[in-house]
């Protein structure tokens, strides 16, 4: 096939509007009042190659180009919504936003381009994205109150909730964990039901639960 007129996007599933995701992520960062925390988030994301191109997972959710950035945006918006929905809530929203924005940043280092898409590197399972993300955050701690920085790092380390090595210990950490799960599971369930006919059900390959279309 001649290269001229060849459009690789015809062979790649990439549903994300990256310009829109970038704009909305910028809006989330702009909600952070503490300039040191805002700079931390910007510096980590700006120094992470592939953050806006990598998938969020190998298969189960947001497993497409731009999936990591899209999942990060969704989790951040959900976490912020949770913090403003529960009555008598007093959360550090700057810390919550930073933790949500950075919770999966280590995943960008776990994939590399191959052909038209991405493949997982050994680091994905041998090291894990949580440890890689924490290391990236630690490189940019200057200018952030030590206590608030420790809280952000705790959110990154504990975002897998009761399934991770580090368990959430603060409302902010639990909010990010729930938001992370909500984004991931709903994306999986939506993708599993996308091609079902009315009144059809099956075991979803992504969400690993029975799904049904009315």
pLDDT in the model for residue 5: 56
> Domains (ranges, CATH) in the chain?
15-193+201-206 (1.10.3210)
* Regions of the chain short of the pLDDT cut 70: 1-12
pLDDT in the model for residue 8: 54
pLDDT in the model for residue 94: 98
pLDDT in the model for residue 187: 96
Task: Please give the share of the chain, as a percent, with pLDDT higher than 90.
Answer: 84
pLDDT in the model for residue 89: 86
Contact at 8 Å (CB) between 185 and 129? no
**pTM exceeding the 0.75 threshold for the entire prediction:** yes
pLDDT in the model for residue 113: 80
Q: Which two tokens stand for residue 197?
A: 């006919």
């Amino acid at each position: 096939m001649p290269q001229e007129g060849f459009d690789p996007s015809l062979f790649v599933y990439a549903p994300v509007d990256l310009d829109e995701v970038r704009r909305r992520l910028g809006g989330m960062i702009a909600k952070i009042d503490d300039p040191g925390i805002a700079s931390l988030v910007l510096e980590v994301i700006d120094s992470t190659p592939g953050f806006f191109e990598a998938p969020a997972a190998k298969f189960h959710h947001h497993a497409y180009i731009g999936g990591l950035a899209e999942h990060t945006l969704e989790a951040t918006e959900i976490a912020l919504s949770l913090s403003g929905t529960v009555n008598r809530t007093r959360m550090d929203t700057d810390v919550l936003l930073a933790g949500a924005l950075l919770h999966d940043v280590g995943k960008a280092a776990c994939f590399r381009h191959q052909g038209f898409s991405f493949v997982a590197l050994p680091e994905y399972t041998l090291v894990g994205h949580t440890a890689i993300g924490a290391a990236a955050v630690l490189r940019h701690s200057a200018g952030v109150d030590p206590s608030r920085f420790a809280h952000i790092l705790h959110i990154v380390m504990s975002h897998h909730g009761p399934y991770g090595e580090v368990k959430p210990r603060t409302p902010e950490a639990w909010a990010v964990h729930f938001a992370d799960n909500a984004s991931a599971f709903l994306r999986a369930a939506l993708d599993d039901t996308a091609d079902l006919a009315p009144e059809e059900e099956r075991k979803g390959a992504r969400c690993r639960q029975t799904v049904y279309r009315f």
